[in-house]
Amino acid sequence: MQENDLILDRYRVLEHLGSGGFASVYRAFDERIARRVAIKILPLRTASGKGASKTGAQKMSEAALMGLEEARTAAMLSHPAIVSLFDFEIDEQRGVAYLIMEDIDGATVADIPSEYLTDEVIAAILKAAADALTYAHKNGVLHLDIKPDNILISHEGQIKLADFGLAQLSHIGQNNGRGSKHGRAIAGTLGYMPLEQLSGDEVCEATDQWALAAVIYELFSDEYPYFEEVSRKPTASSMLKAQEADEVALLDLNNIVLEGIFTRALARNPDMRFESVKEFYEVLLAELGDRPSATAGKRELKKLIPELTNDEPDDPDEMGGLPSSRRLGRNKADRESRDFAGCLRSVLSITFKVIMGIALAICLLAWIVPDILLLSGNNRWLVVQVAAGVFIIGALLGLLFAANRARRHR
């Protein structure tokens, strides 16, 4: 597909956005109603599991078309935190599906550098993704491919979950055309697939909960659950063995409450996880500062995304498939560097507070009981003035730092 090519006699191709695991994505202009859209072109499989021929001689089976209808229903969800699907066309002769979607001009969660992932930003991402999944689950739809690349953020700070129904479409025909919202597992992304999905067992709402927890855990720690397996170009079998061997392999988050929440949400047994995505979200959000924190995170993203999109873009071929090498670059050394910086800031903050405390104590003692400090006359007032000056300067610096921090989080 080239620039200016016409799709479905209506959509003029503007640019190729990327190709990944099982889809090609284009930005196009809808000539009928004059708006920009994003189009995913997805090759479909026949009932025998083979792709349709390019000549169009091979048609989609009836069972596969039934599965497509289920996938269409999944993709047509309407919610503020879900990327809108405007149209859904199937070319039976060519064996492809066209998904005409809202064009989100911005970035994905995978594009956000780890140093910008404050608790407020994580809270905003968590809330939007959980709201989208809660709505989908109420409508009987599973996502089954939640990952940072599928969480989009616009220049206005709007966070939306993409690709509902795409996992179903990617393997149409492998299970007689039936969708998998209450059946066996289908396509996902290694690193964000729980045990039941890797092993091909029945999936459920808890499957999406595990994937969302894996994404949020990565935002906190810069590593996936079972990071060692993911970082070594994983296979489904290696990830399966890792999850079968351990209940959950988590880093120390230095917060016993957070560790307990993630241990439950990432449990090997779906029955041991939270009752719903909503319950997981509410428990975790309470630890991040609740809804005011999520609102502050959206404001941060509204400032951040325009800056990120002015940078040199990542390789579009990293879309889909295995987790991107850029994110795997947030390795142990990066984390240790940030940990050192955070430790240094903590030490400086404690030292600063101790000095201010000592200055205030000396000032009060010199003023009230100078004999304790063996002071008298002019020496007494000199000590009072110096100690008071140190305390006042320290207090003013503290207020300036606090104001600067509040402005960054506004």
Catalytic residues: 145
Residues in contact with 56: Cβ distance below 8 Å, sequence separation at least 6, in sequence order: 93, 94
DSSP 229-275: HHHT---HHHHHHHHHH-S------S-HHHHHHHHHHT-SSGGGS-S
What torsion do the CA atoms of 130, 252, 346, 303 make, to the nearest 10 degrees? -30
Phi, psi values for residue 326, rounded to 5°: -65, -45
Helix (H, G, I), strand (E, B) or coil at 191: coil
Smallest Cα–Cα separation from 323: which of 217, 188, 121?
Answer: 188
* Count of residues in the chain: 410
Tokens of 251: 């880093």
Distance (Å, rounded) from C-alpha 78 to C-alpha 84?
6
For helices 256-265 and 205-221, angle between their N-to-C axes, nearest 10 degrees: 150
Rg (Cα) of the chain, in Å, rounded? Answer: 27
Q: Helices marked H in 310-373 — which ranges? A: 325-328, 332-368
Q: How many Cα atoms within 13 Å fall on the side-chain side of residue 174?
A: 16
Q: How many CB atoms lie within 10 A of CB 243?
A: 23
Helix count (H) and strand count (E) of the chain? 13, 9
- The answer to whether 203 touches 183, Cβ cutoff 8 Å, is yes
Distance (Å, rounded) from C-alpha 3 to C-alpha 13?
5
Helix (H, G, I), strand (E, B) or coil at 204: coil
Tokens of 263: 């241990």
Distance (Å, rounded) from C-alpha 336 to C-alpha 181?
40
Strand partners, 38: 27, 101
Tokens of 408: 């960054």
